Amino acid sequence: MFSGLSFKDSVLSTSKGSENVRLSSGKTIVLKTRQRDRSVDLAPCLSDNNSMDVLMGNLDIEKVVQKPRFTPKPKRLKSDKVLWTEKWRPSTYLDLLGNERINRLTLEWLSQWSKVVFNTPNDMTEKNRELGDPYGRPHRKILLLNGPPGIGKTSIAHVIAKQVGYEVLEINASDERAGTSVRDKIRNSLSSVTFSGKPTCLVIDEIDGSTETGFIKVLLEILNEDDRAQVKSKKKAKFLMRPIIAVCNDLYASCLEKLRPRAEIITMRHPPRRAIKERLRKICKAESLAFSDPNLEAVAETCNFDMRGCLNMLQFSGGSSIKNGGGKDLQTSWFNLVKTTFTRDNSLKLGQQFAQLEKLLLVSDEKVLNGCFNAYLNVGYQNIDLTRCDAMTDWLYFADAAGNLQDSYSSLAVLKFYLLFSGTSTEVKTSNLSEFYENRRRYAQMLRYFNTAVSIPTLDLVKYVIPFASSILTLNLKVSIHNMKPNEKAKLETIKNVMKQFGVKVERSSTGLELYPPIDSLCHFSEQSLRQHQQKKQPLLILLNEERILKRKPEPLEERPTKRNVSADFFKKQYGEIVEAPIKNNENRIWVKYHEGFSDAVKKNIRWSDLF
Amino acid sequence: MLFYGPPGTGKTSTILALSKQLYGPTLFKSRVLELNASDERGISIVREKIKNFARLSVSNASKEDQEKYPCPPYKLIILDEADSMTSDAQSALRRTMETYSNVTRFCLICNYITRIIDPLASRCSKFRFKPLGDNSSLARLQYIVSSEKIKLEDETKILKEILKLSEGDLRKAITFLQSACKLFSFGTDGDKAEAPDADSMNIDDPVVVPTFSITDIQEIAGVIPNSETNKLIQRLVAKNFNDIFDYLREDVFKAGYNGSNIINSLHDSLVLGGDDDDDDVDLALSLNHDQKNKISEIIFAADSKLTNGCNEQIQVLDACLKIAVLL
Amino acid sequence: MSLWADKHRPKTLEQLDFHEGISNRLKSLASSGDFPHLLVYGPPGAGKKTRVLATLREIFGPGVEKLKVDVKIFENGSRKLEFNVISSPYHYEITPSDMSGNDRIVIQDLLKQVAQTESIDFTRKMKFKVVIINEAEYLTRDAQAALRRTMEKYSGNLRLILLCNSTSTIIPPIKSRTLQIRVPSPTAPEMSLVFNKILEKESVTSFDDDPSIFANVAANSERNLRMGIMLLESLYMNNDQITAKTPMILPDWKGVIKNLGAEILKNRNVQMVQSARSTFYDLIAHCIPSKLILSELTWELWYLLGNVKSGNVDQIKGSIVDACSTFDERLSLGQKDIFHLEGFIIKTMVILEKNL
C-alpha cells in the first residue's frame, strides 16, 4: 500500500480522465482522477453489493504502482540516526495500516464538519440538521479514539485531519494542561485561523491521564455552552465551530466518565496479523534487514501486535539477527518460550531437553504461564486426554498460590506443561484476551454506576436485580399512545420511574435508539437473545423518544421569530371599527375597566422549561 | 506489663482499676495515657504522641493525694488491644520503653501473645488471664441477678447454660443475661440506666419476670439450638443424600445459621458427646475411635476452609456428606 | 422509587407480614429505652433492613424516612476518598465495604464524628444516634478491631446496627458486644401472602387465581423476597395474562450455567473444556463472581444427576461436591479464577467418566 503519494501531488490534477502526475521522487505515473464526492460514487457500488476488497481493487493506483518506493520523509535525516517509529509513521491516508472501516468512520465523522468549516456540502449535514443541529454538525461533537498503544490512533488523527484540510493543533500529556491556561489555548485555537490559512483541528492526545480532571471540565464546559447556544439561541453563547479529536488508551478511566456520553467513540483494534507482517516485511526490506517469516510472527506476537513496539524491537535488535542470517531466533520472548515448551525435539533425549528448557525458563514471568494455559487445549489432540488435564490443574493451582514466590518456582508449572503436552508437530496459537478485559471493565463500571444509583449491593444487582429490571423495561404495545388502556398507561409510568431510579435514558446513537447506559448488554449473553430483547424494546423506545423530543423542542436557528413590525395604523384601524359601531341607549352596556399601573409593555412569555 | 488471654476475662478492667487505685481521680488524667484500637496507632503516632508523653517528667503529687493513694513516681501508658498494632509500630515502641523506663511504665493488653513481637514481649513481664472458672462466674451472675431484682425460673440451669455458651468470657455472659431479660420482658417501661460495665448497679426497678428457656438463650448467642442439630444428625445417619441436601439448603441455611456454627455443633455432638440432660441417644458414645478420628479430620478441614472465606453451603454440605458415609 | 419491591416495603413494625416473634421483640426493645447494639443477620431478601428501618421509625417517629444522600470526603494521607452516606435527622447508613481496603478510616473518622456531636433535641427520649452498617461481613479485620472499641466507648451517643448475611467473618469481640437477631427467610406460603397483598394494592388482575403460580414464583426466587417481587413484576410487565403455564423469567446467566451443566453431562471431552472456557470468560466479563458460578454449577449438576439411573449416583454426587469444595478453597486462596473453574470442569468430567 505504499504509493509514495502525498496529498499535494494528486491535487495537481484538475481535469477529468487520466492524469500524468509527477511524484516527489521524480517519476511520472498515470492516474485516473478519483471522485471526492462520495454520494455520487458509492451509490452504484453499494447497490451492486460489492465487497470492500473488490472496490479497493478497482482503485487503479494499486495496479499501476508496481514498485513501491517509499522514501522516508524528511529526507535530510540519515537512517541510522532517526527512530524507525518516526521514520515510518504514516503520512497519508493510504499509508494507514489497520481496519479500513475504522479509518472510514473517522473520515466520515470529520467530513461532517466540512459544511460549517469549509462550506462544502456533505450529505450528512442535511440529516444532522433534521436532528436539530443548526449547522449540520454531527450529534456528538467530540471524537474519542481509543485502543491499545501503538496501533496508530494519533497517526490517524493527524493524517485524516490533514487530508481534509485542517491544520492540526496537538495538545498532549507533555503540555501544560491545568484548567485556565488550556482553556485560553483551546478557545483561541477554535476561533482563529493559522498562518497557513487553514482552520485548526484540535487533537488532544493521551486524554486519560488521571490528573487531568480540570482539563476535561474545560471540554465539558465548551460542549455545554454549545448545547445552550442551540436551545436558547442567545447571541452570547458560543457554538463549537471546529472539530475536536481526543485520543486515549483506556476508555473506562474514571476521569472520562462524564465525557463519554457526549463523545463519538471509535474503538480501534489491532490491525490484522497479515497486514502487520506485510508492513514489517516491507520495512525490513527497505532497511536491508533479513528476518525470516516466523521470526516476524514471533516479533509481532511478543509485542502484542503493537506496531511501535515491533519497530523498536526490529531496530534495536537488527544487528544480531543479521549475523545469524535470520536463522534460529534466540530471543527469549514469552511467545517463543511457549512454543519451545510445546515442541519436542526428537534429536535430544527427554532429560536433556528438560534441562535446556529449565535454563531458558529461569527468566520467565507469568506471561509464559498464561500463554501456555491459553494454548494448551489447542495443541495437537493426540496428546490430550482428560486425565492429563486433570494432573495439570493441581500444578496450576500451585503456580497460582505460589504467587509471590515467582522467582524460585515460576518455571515448575511450565515444565509440567512440557512433560504432559509437548509433541513433535504442534502448532501453537494463543487467543487474544484483550476483548475480554475490555468487556470486563466496561461492565464493571456500569455495575458501579447502578450501585450508586440504587444502593443495592453489587452481588444482588448482578444476580437478579438488573436482569429483572431489564425485563421490566418492556411493554407489549399493540396500539399507539393515544389508544392505550389505563393499565397500560400505568405500566408506562412504572417504566419511566424505574428508568429514572436506575439513571437510564433513551438516546439516539448510530444504530438507532438505545438505552444509555446499555442495561441490556449487562445481563444478556448471546448475541441472539440480546437482539431479541432489543427488538422487543423498540416500540417502547420510540414512544419514550417521542415524548422526550416533544419536551425539548429546540427552536431551529432559521426559524427565529422575527420582530413583527406592527405599525400604529393597525391599531388605529381596530379602534376605528369599534367606534363606528352604533350605541343604542336602551341596550345593556358593557363596562370595561382599565387597571391602573398594569402595562403590557413589560410582559414577556416565559415557558416552564426556562425555569427548570 | 503484658496482659494476655481470651476476651472477657478482665484484663482491661484490672489495669484500669489498678491505675485508679494507684493515682486517685485527680492524678489519673495527668499520669495515665490510654490508647486503644480505635485511636490512630500508626508508627507516626508512636513516634510523636507516645514518646512525648513518656518523656514528660513526673509532676509531684499534692500532699493529700499522697496520703490517700500510693502515688508511685512514674507514669503509666496503657496500650489496649496491642495485637492489632502493626509490627512497625511495635518496633518503634521498644526503644521508647527502655529509654524512659524510670519515668514511664507500659502496660500492653492483648488477646494473642503471638501477635506481639518478641523484642517487645521480652521487655515485659507477662500475666496470663485464664478463662474464669465456673464457680466464681456463677456466683457473680447470681449476684447480678439478685441486684437487678430479676426472677428467673430454673435459675441455676439457665445460668449454667449461659456460662457454657460464653466459653469463659464473663462479659459475654453478662451481656447475654441482659439481652435475654430485655428481649423477653414485655411491657417494661422504666428508664434503665446504661450498664456497659458489670460493676455499675441498678436500683429500684420493678420486678420483672422474664420467661425464657434454654432455646431462647441459644438463639441470642447465635448458636444452633440442640433440636436442629439433632434433626441434622438423624438425617446423616439415614444417609439419604437428597434428603440431607434439601434439609441443609432449605431449613438450615434459609434459617440464617452460619456455617461455622453448624460445624461446631456437629463437633460437639459427635465427638465430644452431648449433655447428660438430653434425652436423645448420645450418639458420641456409640462411635468408635477410628470414626471419631476421621470425623474430627473432616470437621477440621471444613472449619479451616470456612475461615478462608469459602462458600458456606458448599463446605458444610461436603462435610456432612463425608460424615454421613462414615456413620 | 417505583419498583414494587421498594414501593410496598412495609414502613412500620405492624405492617410486616411474617416473623411476628421478631417484630414483638424489636418492639419491646424500642420501647424499653435501653437499646443495645444490634447484629441482624440472615439470608438475603429475608427482610433485615426493612425491619431495622421499621424499628427506627418506632423509636424516632416518621422523621426517619426523610433521607438524603451525602458525599463525605476523608483524607488518607495524601489521597482523598469519597464516600456515600445516606442520612436522616436521626440516623446514618453506610456501606464501608465500598471503600475496600480503606474501610478502617471510614469507621474511625465517621463514627467519631457522629458520636461527638450531641443532638440539640432535648425533648427526645432517645438521645443517641443510630448508625446502620451494611454488608458488615465484608469489613476487614482492621475495621472490625476499630469498630469494637468505638462501640464501647461511645455507646452513650451512638448505637450501631450491623447488617450481614452471615456472621462467620465477624470477629467474636463484636459478636459479644452486640445483640444478635436472626431473621430467617420467609417460607413459600408467607411469600404468597405478600404477593397477594401487593397485587391487590396495585389492582392488578392479570394473574390467574391459581395458588401454584405463586408457589412457582417463590420456588424460583430462592425464598428471597426481593427477588420474588421483582420476578412477579417482570412477569406482569411482560405478559398480558399470567396462568400456571406461563414460563418463569430466568436471569440469563442462570440459563447459561444450566446449559453448561447439561453439556458437561452429555459430552466429556477436551472440546467441551474449550467451549466451557469461553463460557467462563463470558460470564466473568459480565461480572458474575466466580464463586457464584462454581456453586450454581454444582447445584445444577446435583439436580441433573438426580435424573440419572445408575448404581452409585450418591458416590458421584459426593465426589463432585468434594471437588467443588476443593476448588472453592482454591478460588479463595488464589487469584486466577479461570484456572480453577476450568480445573473443576475437568475434574468433574473425570469423575463422571469413571463412574457412569
Do C162 and C178 belong to one domain?
yes
Local confidence band at B80 (pLDDT 50, 70, 90 cut-offs): confident
Contact A456, C227 (CB under 8 A): no
Mean pLDDT, to the nearest integer, of B73-95?
82
Which amino acid belongs to residue A431?
Answer: S
Any idea which residue has 460489492 for its cell?
A50
Triad B213, B216, B221: Cα angle to 5°: 130
Q: What is the pLDDT of residues A396-447, one digit of tens each?
A: 888 888 776 666 677 788 888 888 887 766 677 777 787 888 888 888 888 8
From the list C146, C180, C322, which residue is nearest B220 (CB)? C180
Q: Final residue of a domain: which of C182, C204, C224?
A: C182
Cross-chain residue pair C177–B178, CB shorter than 8 Å? no
* Cβ contacts of C295 on chain B, cutoff 8 Å: 311, 313-314
Chains B–C, number of C-beta pairs less than 8 Å apart: 151
Contact A520, A513 (CB under 8 A): no
Q: What is the pLDDT of residue A43?
A: 44
CATH (residue range B226-326) = 1.20.272.10
Do C63 and C167 belong to one domain?
yes
Q: Which chains touch A (3 or more CB pairs under 8 A)?
A: C
Domain count, chain C: 3
Local confidence band at A76 (pLDDT 50, 70, 90 cut-offs): very low
What does the alpha-carbon distance between residue A62 and residue A2 come to, in Å, rounded to a whole number? 9
* Cβ contacts of A434 on chain C, cutoff 8 Å: none
Cross-chain residue pair B220–C172, CB shorter than 8 Å? no
Instruction: List the single best residue of C31, C32, C327 to mutate versus B (max B Cβ within 10 A).
Output: C32
Residue C247 placed within a domain = no
Compare all CA atoms of chain A with the CA of C241 and give the residue at the minimum distance: A476
Closest residue by Cα to residue B151 from B185, B183, B175: B185
Contact C136, C93 (CB under 8 A): no
Mean pLDDT, to the nearest integer, of C213-240?
87
Q: Residue B194: pLDDT above 60?
A: no
- How many CA atoms, within 13 angstroms, populate the side-chain half-sphere of residue B184? 20
Q: What is the pLDDT of residue A73?
A: 45
Local confidence band at A484 (pLDDT 50, 70, 90 cut-offs): low
Q: What is the pLDDT of residue A244?
A: 86
A367: left (phi over 0), alpha (psi -120 to 50) or beta: alpha
Cross-chain residue pair C286–A525, CB shorter than 8 Å? yes
From the list B220, B311, B325, which residue is nearest C295 (CB)? B311
Residue C345 placed within a domain = yes
What does the alpha-carbon distance between residue B320 and residue B304 come to, in Å, rounded to a whole number? 15
Q: Residue A12: pLDDT above 50?
A: no
Indicate contact of B with A: 3+ CB pairs under 8 A: no
CATH of the domain at C121: 3.40.50.300
Contact A335, A371 (CB under 8 A): yes
Residue C211 placed within a domain = yes
Compare all CA atoms of chain C with the CA of A438 and give the residue at the minimum distance: C285
* Cβ contacts of B171 on chain C, cutoff 8 Å: 176
Residue C244 placed within a domain = no
Q: Final residue of a domain: which of C205, C238, C271?
A: C238
* Cβ contacts of B260 on chain C, cutoff 8 Å: 168
Please give the CATH topology (third level) of the domain spanning B134-221: Helicase, Ruva Protein; domain 3 (1.10.8)
Do C62 and C140 belong to one domain?
yes
Q: State yes or no: ipTM above 0.90.
A: no
Contact B60, B105 (CB under 8 A): no
Q: Domain residues of chain A, as ranges?
A: 5-58+330-421, 99-267, 453-552
Cross-chain residue pair A386–C353, CB shorter than 8 Å? yes
Query: Which architecture characterizes domain B2-128 according to CATH?
Result: 3-Layer(aba) Sandwich (3.40)
Cross-chain residue pair C237–A491, CB shorter than 8 Å? yes
Tell me what the pLDDT averaged over chain A comes to.
Answer: 72
User: Lowest-confidence range among A83-87, A413-417, A558-562, A594-598?
Assistant: A558-562
Compare all CA atoms of chain C with the CA of B254 and give the residue at the minimum distance: C185
Quote the minimal CA–CA distance from C250 to chain A in Å: 8
Local confidence band at C325 (pLDDT 50, 70, 90 cut-offs): very high
From the list A381, A386, A451, which residue is nearest C350 (CB)? A386
From the list C95, C251, C333, which residue is nearest A401 (CB)? C333
From the list C224, C233, C270, which residue is nearest A377 (CB)? C270
The grid coordinates of residue B80 equal 489496649
Mean pLDDT, to the nearest integer, of B143-153?
82
Cross-chain residue pair C29–B183, CB shorter than 8 Å? yes
Range of the domain at C211: 188-238
Q: What is the pLDDT of residues A32-51, one digit of tens each?
A: 776 665 444 444 444 455 56
What does the alpha-carbon distance between residue C284 and residue A439 come to, in Å, rounded to a whole number? 9
Cross-chain residue pair C145–B308, CB shorter than 8 Å? no
**Helices marked H in C8-158:** 20-32, 48-60, 103-116, 141-153
A603 CA to centre of own chain:
49
Q: What is the pLDDT of residues B68-78, one digit of tens each?
A: 788 788 888 89
Cross-chain residue pair C177–B309, CB shorter than 8 Å? no
If one counts every other C-beta atom within 10 angstroms of the C-beta of residue A582, the result is 5
Do C278 and C231 belong to one domain?
no
Q: What is the pTM of this model?
A: 0.73
Q: Domain residues of chain B, as ranges?
A: 2-128, 134-221, 226-326
Distance of CA A111 to CAs A56, A143, A510, Å? 21, 12, 16
Q: What is the pLDDT of residues B150-177, one digit of tens each?
A: 777 777 888 888 888 887 788 878 888 8
Residues 449-508 of A with CB under 8 A from C: 451-452, 455, 457-460, 462-465, 467-469, 471-476, 487, 491, 493-495, 497-498, 501
Compare all CA atoms of chain C with the CA of B81 and give the residue at the minimum distance: C145
Compare all CA atoms of chain B with the CA of C23 and give the residue at the minimum distance: B183
Quote the minimal CA–CA distance from C158 to chain A in Å: 24
Cross-chain residue pair A457–C350, CB shorter than 8 Å? no
Cross-chain residue pair B188–C152, CB shorter than 8 Å? no
* Cβ contacts of A523 on chain C, cutoff 8 Å: 251-253, 286
Please give the CATH topology (third level) of the domain spanning A99-267: Rossmann fold (3.40.50)
Q: What is the pLDDT of residues B276-317, one digit of tens each?
A: 445 455 666 678 888 888 999 999 999 888 888 788 889 999
Tell me what the pLDDT averaged over chain B comes to.
Answer: 79
Per DSSP (E only), the strands in A119-274 are 142-146, 167-171, 200-204, 244-248, 263-267
Cross-chain residue pair C339–A467, CB shorter than 8 Å? no
From the list A433, A462, A524, which residue is nearest C288 (CB)? A462
Per-residue burial over C24-57, b if 16 or more Cβ lie within 10 Å, else e, is ebbbbbbebeebbbbbbbbbbbbbbbbbbbbbbb
User: Lowest-confidence range among A337-341, C182-186, C271-275?
Assistant: A337-341
| Choice between C125 and B114, residue whose per-residue pLDDT is larger | B114
* Cβ contacts of A458 on chain C, cutoff 8 Å: 287
